[in-house]
Amino acid sequence: MIAVNRQAIVGHYIGGVWQETAGREIIEVDNPADGSLVGATVAGNAQDVDAAVHAARAAFPTWAATALTERIAIVEALSAGIANHRERLAAVLTAEMGSPIAFARAAQVGVAIADLEALVAAARSHDARRPVSNSLVVTEPVGVVAAITPWNFPLHQIALKLGGALLAGCTIVLKPSEIAPLNAAVLAEIVDGMGLPAGVVNIVFGNGLGVGEPLVRHPEVDMVTFTGSRAVGERIAVLAAADIKKVALELGGKSAAIVLPDASIDESVAGVLRSCFANAGQTCAALTRVLVPTAMLDAWQRAAVDATAGWAPGDPAVESTVTGPLASMLQQQRVRAHIADALEDGAELLTGGVDWPEGHAQGAFVAPTIFAGVTPSMRLFREEVFGPVLAVTGYDTEDDAIRLANDSEYGLSGGVWSGDPRRALEVALRLRTGTVGINGAGLDVGAPFGGYKRSGIGREGGVMGFEEFLEVKSVMGAASLG
């Protein structure tokens, strides 16, 4: 193993101070494209969590009383800081989780900036005091927020949680993913130079057992916001229930795209593949099931196989690359296991598979993969893969398509393609999901994002994402006094 330069190890950021790294256990961060060591962080523990939460608690009264205009100015400065460090952050994301550099620059970093802009707009439009019936309804910050973020869109998720919490008047303890923590270290540098009161923003690095569980359990934490797997979300909900903490959970998905008979084959293929294969398929809202009319199934599948050639994996540091590696070798193993299971269940492999992609016999690469003949009895129809794997299923009637789309324990996203946008809207309104895109419409950072069923609780982004960090108080008899 390559020795880590102790000066390059990232320590926690607690109470406005970078913590010492000497003598601490560390977590190494590897480049998934080639396995090289790109950095390391301290492995946090319950004592680190306690210090961070106490710092956040001490800072809360002053920050909660800070004028909204000042909080907005801080978040705008944060957005500007991210924009100023766009190239550095993109390079870090490419190195630590394999995001192709052009995608990292535009989507990973660009969307984080857009998130903050939308949250600022939401905060500006928010009425913190309004008469309702005979009462004055007042909104107040929820308190100390524990934010646990994932490795697939790490900066985007941090921006949503950090921006919303700060604007609401909350203080925060962030635990970034140990798989991709280095972008959070850059963000901490930006925060450190902004003049925030000590303890408003705290960052503790580490894994779920060492940092995540103590953070969720901590009695001084008022709210937990988490993005990640359903299994971890369930664990967080159980732990938070002991203190009746508020939780916001953005979890997994197995989202379906419905191609209606009047849809363009080429346009629907391009849109579905873009959703399924972007970020190497590591997107919770990815459209990983596609439902196609039986009469156009063969033509659609041929077009999809042909178009998949444009998603060939490549070196993520190269500007023209559109598909990089998965974020880790462990994730590669998981995705390969899903592909093997699909073959065992009888799905028809159209392209891709478990073998190394051509030209990439090392690293966490998986070839973009398409299966035909996928039925509801197969695991691939139901289980989230979190890799570039598309399941194609035929249907006979529109009602059949809607039934198949809704036949899932998840309800995060969906898509509908039609030559008639109004027809597409009618179908979209029948889907039991938190978001639906019509004819390839993508993420809208100003709109609420979240899921039905086991895809989560609460919403992120825009007005509703900002309001997740607020409590509501009714002062009865005071409607005329506000």
- Active site members: 250, 284
From residue 102, alpha-carbon distances to 106, 236, 274, 367 in Å are 6, 34, 15, 19
From residue 321, alpha-carbon distances to 183, 314, 324, 326, 341 in Å are 21, 5, 7, 14, 29
Torsion of CA 13, 16, 18, 20, to 10 degrees: -100
* CB 40, CB 24: distance < 8 Å: no
**What is the C-alpha separation between 133 and 331, in angstroms, rounded?**
53
Amino acid identity at 164 = G
Which helix (H) or strand (E) element contains residue 467?
helix 462-467
The tokens 């000042």 sit on which residue? Answer: 70
* CB 202, CB 39: distance < 8 Å: no
* CB 99, CB 111: distance < 8 Å: no
Q: What is the DSSP letter of 31?
A: -
Furthest C-alpha separation in the chain = 72
Helical segments of 196-320, H only: 213-217, 230-241, 265-277, 297-308
**What is the C-alpha separation between 316 and 61, in angstroms, rounded?**
45
* Cα–Cα–Cα angle for 410, 414, 417, rounded to 5 degrees: 155
Cα first-last separation, the chain = 64
Amino acid identity at 316 = P
**What is the C-alpha separation between 386 and 327, in angstroms, rounded?**
10
* CB 337, CB 120: distance < 8 Å: no
The tokens 């939401």 sit on which residue? Answer: 122
| Ramachandran quadrant class, 270 (left: phi over 0; alpha: psi -120 to 50; beta: rest) | alpha
Q: How many residues does the chain have?
A: 482
Q: Bridge-partner residues for 175, per DSSP?
A: 148
List CB contacts of 208: < 8 A, sequence separation 6 or more.
Answer: 148, 232
Amino acid identity at 58 = A
